[in-house]
Structure 1
Amino acid sequence: MSDNSSGNLSDELSGLDFAAVSPEEFARIVKGLSARELGEVMHGDLRARVLSEVFGRMKQQFRPEAAGQLKALIRWKITGESEEVYETSIADGACTVSAGRSGAEPRTTLVMGDADFLKLVSGNGNPVTMFMMRKLKVAGDVGLASGLTRYFDIPKA
């Protein structure tokens, strides 16, 4: 039965127009799924669409007043069926996001699986707890990593 339900779940999510889903609605969807279910749906085209949409929204969710004079490059490594790398650059009160690894040295690197990434960016995961439970690995500036959520409007489910 679980295979059938995950198939329906996958079908339901793959039919979503993620660009039309509000951050709050996305947070509710993530909150309603177990880590196993989140991992199951994060495959192939659907995974690429979800990651692209989440990183594409970071610029709009950025809070320049909270970042102040912060200048930092944050590298995100999302592991799952493959490792996807994105970089978030915060400088001069702006946030830019790019797919892939640049030649620049990141101030901090965050490594996590698909389900934990979705929980973190949807406000359903506590970054400190995730770090302590080794679901989130941090290389570089741990202080910056621990405060990252204050620089973005994180939805609440």
Structure 2
Amino acid sequence: MDANTLVQQLPKAFRPAEAAGKSHTIQLNISQPAYAVIENGACSIHSGTAPKSDLTLTVSDENFVELMQGRLNGVAAFMSGKLKASGDLMLAQRLSKIFDASALQG
């Protein structure tokens, strides 16, 4: 499965209870940039660059797929430079709770 397909499936993997009362915009800089908007207990995906983001993740398509499929640890990817994160790093640490990777097809 490719990175862009996985991004489009993020709303299926969203766990509303883990983001209750929160609003976030997460920019995903992969080959086809996109961003996730989390608000009012829902997650939506948009193409392009967010006007303003709380967290920006920059990662190759291959490493994004590995992260989402649980084959690459997010902290290890960040420490090794495979994943670049800027903005709310506490939000970055919570992404594995906010999104259930096992719900993604592929």
Aligned to 1:127: 74
Higher strand share: 2
Q: CA deviation at 1:91?
A: 0.7
Aligned to 1:138: 85
Aligned to 1:99: 47
CA RMSD of aligned residues (A): 1.6
Give TM-score scaled by structure 2 length: 0.89
Amino acid at match of 1:97: I
Gaps of 5+ in 1: 1-25, 27-49
3-state DSSP class of the match of 1:56? helix
Distance 2:59 2:7 in 1: 15
Q: CA deviation at 1:68?
A: 1.0
Q: Which structure is higher in RCO with an 8 Å CA cutoff and minimum separation 6?
A: 2
Distance 2:77 2:3 in 1: 19
* Residue correspondences, number: 103
Please identify runs of 4+ aligned residues in structure 1 that moved more than 4 A: none
- Cα-to-partner distance string for 1:8-49 (whole Å, 9 max, x where unaligned): xxxxxxxxxxxxxxxxxx6xxxxxxxxxxxxxxxxxxxxxxx
Q: Percent of aligned positions with the same letter in both sequences? A: 30
Of 108, 111, 119 in structure 1, the residue corresponding to residue 55 of structure 2 is 108
Give TM-score scaled by structure 1 length: 0.61
Of 89, 96, 100 in structure 2, the residue corresponding to residue 149 of structure 1 is 96
Distance 1:52 1:94 in 2: 20
Quick check: which has more Rg, 1 or 2? 1
Higher helix share: 1
Gaps of 5+ in 2: none
3-state DSSP class of the match of 2:7? helix
